[in-house]
Structure 1
């Protein structure tokens, strides 16, 4: 059974505001598709689309783009975006996609597939993909982000690791004991389970974003371990977030939380091509 999280309205709003749009990954997907299946870009389906950051950027490339998610709150947020006319959203589980067999050119999921029933999802993706269609999965967890700022980057990242360690008891056991190692292993297992002969695995593809420090701490609010702590003990969640922000500012010798830092995401992804 797939895990269900990220379904509260406040959480969905934070997702929309703070989660990044993975333009670099989308470029990798489109380069791959142009090599494997040129001129067949009718329907892309973004599974577990959340608030739509990874859905909308496909609009220039496909005749139709559909984002699917199990959460009504996430889809409500997605629909508040300035969506192009060829982008729409559907509520459904990742393992039960509302498309005909062989209808879809691309099935993708952006940092979502680790929550799916993975074997059922792979079977469903194979069902809806047309012969020659592509599967593309990205894993780019906020808990893997490194901060870069002057000569204190190592200090900042040590502070961040303490924050993640404090959240560890609140993370879903569905993901294993390690916030990063076990989750990456999930994606490698999906890659190994994919029956397509033409497939690629890419490790630690770096994505960089320059944001105010509040952009980083805002993103931390979207982590499901933080959301669980907030449900359990709102005062402690706020204290922990304020503490990390103050410690980061102190290490940076900065006073304003709008001071810019560089976030570096080590992303992992797989690409696969269904046989003709």
Structure 2
């Protein structure tokens, strides 16, 4: 079953830092198909509707499904298209007739599917020569702004520290670790699973924004697995005095370690976190397969 992402992400925080899906994804995945309006798009694991917003103009009808009622409510609240329908649904039981769908999109959601069941449903509902599009992204690159030194090397250090903070917070959550592994490998595992012979991968579709160091820390904290890690550590320290407990938790907080290490590496330890600026580059990658 498609896992409900509500328990994984702190939605209030994550939404603030989630990258916008670049329009280049539509050009890359639809190609010549976008020159003519297609009949029916199915968006699986639609979340708050980000992918629908960039794909919907190229279809006469769009159905977007997600297992989370909260996500569906959010998507409906921002829907600007009369031909788009949002409803609760699951990747393993697609609510469509046989041979009825032109394109299926799964944006940042495929790692959570029971994929063997999903692929059977895809094959059932796709029209001949119909297209399956799955894409996602991994940790962003953090490129320092206004600091001295080799920016390329400093960006590598920033990425390593950032990735380490998030992955260490997910330790012990097997589902989260499995999803991270698939995303870090840019969906190579998923590509190998797909039964269609006509398939290809794409990479290096980029989008950029500017963050402060405070923003980068909040991105780490947006993962509920990380918050659960901190809560677990807090329980372990309950026998200590409040002062000792707070000092120990500060030592164990990987987000704080990330902040300190980044400032030391970038040579800006005297700056406030809000004044440490960086260009944040998200790299999108994915798979295009035809029935």
TM range (shorter): 0.7 to 0.9
Residue pairs, 1:84-233, within 5 angstroms: 84-141=81-138, 144-150=139-145, 151=151, 152-173=154-175, 175-176=177-178, 179-180=180-181, 182-183=182-183, 187-202=187-202, 204-213=203-212, 214-223=214-223, 225-229=225-229, 232=232
Secondary structure at the aligned position of 2:75 is classed as: helix
| C-alpha contact (below 8 Å) 2:65/2:88 kept by paired residues | yes
Which residue does 1:25 correspond to in 2? 25
**Deviations, residues 112-136 of structure 1 (Å, cap 9, x unaligned):** 1111011111111121111121100
CA shift in 2, pair 1:206/1:28, >3 Å: closer
Looking at structure 1, the residues matched to 205 and 277 of structure 2 have their Cα atoms a distance apart, in angstroms, of 19
For 1:4, the equivalent position in structure 2 comes to 3
Uncovered stretches (5+) of structure 1, i.e. residues with no partner: none
Taking structure 1 as the reference length, what is the TM-score of the superposition?
0.80
Q: What is the TM-score when the length of structure 2 is the normalising length?
A: 0.77
Moved more, 9-18 or 44-53: 9-18
CA–CA distance in structure 1, aligned partners of residues 209 and 110 of structure 2: 26
Larger radius of gyration: 2
Shift in Å at residue 13 of structure 1?
3.4
How far apart are the structure 2 equivalents of 1:3 and 1:196? 22
Task: Look up the SS of the partner of 1:27 in the other structure.
Answer: helix
Q: For the residues of structure 2 that align with 1:252 and 1:66, how far apart are their CA atoms?
A: 50
Question: Which residue does the alignment assign to 1:244?
Answer: 258
Q: 1:48 aligns with which of 15, 25, 45?
A: 45
Query: When the two structures are aligned, how many residues end up with a matched partner?
Result: 265
CA 1:160–1:129 in 2, change beyond 3 Å: closer, same or farther?
same
Moved more, 255-264 or 118-127: 255-264
The alpha carbon displacement at 1:243 in A equals 4.5
Distance 1:243 1:80, change over 3 A: farther
The two structures, once aligned, show a CA RMSD in angstroms of: 3.1
Most deviating of 112-121 and 206-215: 206-215
Q: Does the CA contact (< 8 Å) of 1:12 and 1:74 recur in 2? A: no
Shift of 1:75: 1.7
Native 8 Å contact 1:212 1:261 kept in 2: yes
Q: Structure 1 residues 114, 165: closer, same or farther in 2, change over 3 A? A: closer
